Structure 1
Amino acid sequence: MTQSSVEAVIVAGGFGSRLLPLTARRPKHLLDVGGVPFLEHQIARLAEAGVDHVVLATSYHADQFRPVLGDGSRWGVRIDYVLEEEPLGTGGAIRNVADALGDDPDGAVVILNGDVLSGHDLPAQLEDFRTPRDGQRVDVSLHLVEVEDARAFGCVPTDGAGRVTAFVEKSDAPVTNQVNAGCYVFRRDVIDTIPAGQVVSVERETFPGLVAEGRLVVGFVETAYWRDVGTPAALVGASRDVVLGVAPTPAIGAAEAGARVADGASVHSDQVGGGSVVMKEATVEQGAVVEGSIVMTGAVVEEGARVTDSVVGPWARVGRDAVLQGATLGDEVVVSAGAHVTDERVDVGTTVPAGD
């Protein structure tokens, strides 16, 4: 491994419980966002930043990743897959993949949470990471974003030189509006200091411990596009932003018509827009309206139905003149003709009767 090489780890082992029922049969990291599996956005961005080796730390439905992402060659990177047998926390998951990384102690390793869509300048963060402070090398760099109301987040204050001074838990009186955005750059040998085979949190244990030891942990503050894609509403919002070009991503371009329709989909309506996505083998019949929504593989939206800000899960069916508003349908759900579903999640295989 050469000094100039950059590696990355994507932590993709979570169960995705906040995204149920969409994650009942698949990991959240492979859900469609803007017309492609979510991880394709992250891998394409890593490749664009000069990363040449990506390690996926997987657990839940781990067998589904390789058939979708392959060996990474289509992005010009090499992908390795490492299984996490038991949940080890954010730090434990990173330590668990150490043997798959190179052995250059000063090498840069980008760590991404596998559910964050970000447009921040990763090459600039890497350059900042490589810049010593008063002759001291940077051990860890954290991407920080500024939010209007930080009460719902743990805060990360920094001093005038960008050095992280503390990690402060959620509070009604936040000490700063800077919060952790889920992208880190680790010095390779720092990863080896995380205890192996143990449940470890980087946010609560690793980072505070490094600061207490006097290690140089810095914040890279940038207010670019950033979204935690952890709920159905956030998934729909992120997908819409990708399609409309609001969320910059090298994985795909913005859709000129305001919607993205996959090859093999059948769309017979001229009222599909607002950043919607219609995936392969899906059907939208004449007179149906699909606005700002995701219609997943094999799903059917029948004539006269109206789907707004919703997710229609794989092989689900929305009946004639039915209305979905802010709804999330699991696999193979059937919404009967004329039914209304508003701000609800419908479990896999359920039938919604016309009276609802």
Structure 2
Amino acid sequence: MTAGPDGPPGPLRDAEAVVLVGGQGVRLRPLTLSAPKPMLPTAGVPFLSHLLARIRAAGIEHVVLGTSYKAEVFAEHFGDGSAFGLELEYVVEDEPLDTAGAIRNVSHLLRERDVLVFNGDILSGLDLRSLVDTHRSSAAEVTLHLVKVDDPRQFGCVPTDADGRVTAFLEKTEDPPVDQINAGCYVFRRPVIEDIPAGRRVSVERETFPGLLADGKRLQGHVDSSYWLDMGTPAAYVRGSADLVRGELPSAALPGRPGEALVLPGARVAEDAVVDGGSTVGADAVVAAGAQVTGSMLFDGAHVGAGSEVRGCVIGAGARVGSGVTLRGAVIGDGAVVGDGCELLDGARVWPSVEIPAGGVRFSADRR
């Protein structure tokens, strides 16, 4: 079943999705103190909205969210999924189970032949139907989305043979033999999930996948060169949001047209202020006269004072940045205050409700 030229695709038959959203997002603190990482505002909506929009656009309708940290936030926002054209269900992980354990933990809600599994902090332009086609045409037990990276030393490598069959899973090394890495998206045959041990931590890369290879099962690689970004660090989070705003990765969930800036309803930007580089200005946020905001995110109710420069930063909800402030690569927590004339450089993090006094303070570390 396919769509007409102007409509969405038909259902992807015998397929459903699992999205793992249980992590605490430690690398993104202090932003994740108030919200799980997949629920952080990203190009005007929770990050998870962009992934769910891609899943729905591929024709998948049933999605199970594997939650843990602040689990209630997901259901409060997305409900049963009907407003998004989906059927959403939720499973709470009471204790850390690692990736394979978390997949096994939702297995009682699965009902289709093939299950797409997503890490909930990856931004990707992967063609999901093409991934499923690879999985089915190769008759694989599991198919892995693989991407090539410039420096694979910080990742585990996944070599494949001439037919795309995965041959090994290699730990991080200073001399990686290939540049292909696990991109955090898979297609499982449902019986494989049901065979994962229940009720304990299980790693896909250290236990499940090597065990399948040892048993002679087929694991297939789907190498793809489309947009891919792990959103786990503040710099990557800011970049991903900016890329969505500018349309470098199109998203049906973007609440506006792609461009240099996304200014949400109720925000106020002074006529002589500059907002560009894929910045987002949240609802009721303010960018005062002469300020420049480039490649940054202002959450709802944030305030940037007159003549301030904000580059590659995240300004939390209700936070206030004074006049004549310079921020580069900084993260300002919800409700924090940065006094006039301060300079906060790359790596600076101001935690929620902390107040940095005026007077030209310069730093590039945590303030709690």
Same fold (TM over 0.5): yes
SS in 1 for 2:241: helix
Contact 1:245 1:254 in 2 (8 A): no
Give the root-mean-square deviation of aligned CA atoms.
Answer: 1.5
Contact 1:5 1:52 in 2 (8 A): no
Question: Could you tell me which residue of structure 2 aligns to residue 17 of structure 1?
Answer: 26
**One of 68, 71, 75 as aligned partner of 1:62:** 71
Say which SS state the counterpart of residue 16 (structure 2) adopts: strand
Distance 2:207 2:150 in 1: 26
Identity of aligned residues (%): 50
Pairs within 5 Å for 1:201-350: 201-252=203-254, 255-269=257-271, 270-343=273-346, 344-350=348-354
Runs (4 or more) in structure 1 with deviation over 3 Å come to: 253-257
- Kept in 2, the 8 Å contact 1:9–1:56? The answer is yes
Asked if the contact 1:321–1:337 (Cα under 8 Å) also holds between the matched residues in 2, the reply is yes
The question of whether the paired residues in 1 share the 8 Å contact of 2:337 and 2:353 is answered with yes
Structure 1 residue 256, shift from structure 2 partner: 4.8
Matches of 1:18 and 1:3 in 2, distance apart?
35
Query: In structure 1, the residue corresponding to 2:32 is in which secondary structure?
Result: coil
The residue number in structure 2 matching 1:169 is: 171
Write the letter of the residue equivalent to 1:50.
G
**Amino acid in the other structure paired with 2:124:** S
Is residue 109 of structure 2 the alignment partner of residue 109 of structure 1? no
After alignment, is 3-12 or 322-331 more displaced? 3-12
Give the conservation status (yes or no) of the 8 Å contact 1:327–1:341: yes
2:210 is paired with a residue whose SS is helix
Distance in 1, Cα, partners of 2:303 & 2:336 = 10
Write the distance in 1 (CA, Å) between the matches of 2:267 and 2:44: 12
Do 1:7 and 1:109's aligned partners in 2 also have CA atoms closer than 8 Å? yes
Q: Could you give the per-residue CA deviations for residues 125-148 of structure 1, whole angstroms, max 9, x where no partner exists?
A: 11111114xxxx211000000112
Preserved CA contact (<8 Å) 2:337 2:356: yes
Q: For 1:131, what is the secondary structure of its paired residue?
A: helix
Does the 8 Å CA contact 2:247/2:258 hold for their aligned counterparts? no
Of 136, 145, 154, 1:130 maps to: 136
Which position in structure 2 is the counterpart of 1:351? 355
Question: Residues 205 and 283 (structure 1 numbering): CA distance in 2 closer, same or farther, change over 3 Å?
Answer: same
Superimposed CA distance per residue, residues 145-185 of structure 1 (whole angstroms, 9 cap, x where no aligned partner): 01122111100001111110100011111121110000000
Aligned residues: 348
Q: Are 2:101 and 2:199, in contact at CA under 8 Å, matched by a contact in 1?
A: yes
* 1:119 alignment partner AA: G
Secondary structure of 1:240's counterpart equals helix
Counterparts of 1:9 and 1:218, CA distance in 2: 19
TM-score, normalised with respect to structure 2: 0.92
Q: Quote the offset at 1:32 in angstroms.
A: 1.3
Q: CA deviation at 1:55?
A: 0.5
Q: How does 1:77-88 map to 2 (within 5 A)?
A: 77-88=86-97
Q: Deviations over 1:42-91 (max 9, x none)?
A: 10111111111111100001111112222222331111111001111111
- Structure 2 unaligned segments of length 5 or more: list them: 1-10, 362-368
Q: Distance in 1 between matches of 2:258 and 2:75?
A: 31
Instruction: Give the superposition deviation at 1:254.
Output: 7.2
Measured after TM superposition, the shift of residue 257 of structure 1 is 4.2
Q: Which segment drifts farther, 244-253 or 12-21? A: 244-253
1:44 to 53, 64, 70: 53
| AA matched with 2:100 | G
Opposite residue 116 of structure 1, the aligned amino acid is I
After TM superposition, give the deviation of residue 243 of structure 1 in Å.
0.7
Q: Distance in 2 between matches of 1:18 and 1:247?
A: 24
2:101 maps to 1:95:
no
Shift of 1:253: 7.2
Deviation by residue 1:13-65 (Cα, 9 ceiling, x = unmatched)? 00100000100111011111111110011101111111111111000011111
Question: How far apart, CA to CA, are the structure 1 residues paired with 2:332 and 2:205?
Answer: 33
Between 41-50 and 278-287, report the one with greater CA deviation. Answer: 278-287
Question: C-alpha distance in 2, partners of 1:218/1:173?
Answer: 24
Q: Can you list the C-alpha shifts for 1:203-229, whole angstroms capped at 9, x where unaligned?
A: 111111111111111000011100000
Amino acid at match of 2:79: G
Asked if 2 retains the 8 angstrom alpha-carbon contact of 1:146 and 1:177, the reply is yes
Structure 1 position 308, deviation (Å): 0.9
Q: 1:331: Cα distance to partner?
A: 0.9
Write the distance in 2 (CA, Å) between the matches of 1:161 and 1:178: 15
Find the counterpart in structure 2 of residue 4 from structure 1.
13
Residue matched to 2:365: none
- SS of 1:90 mapped into structure 2: helix
SS at match of 1:9: strand
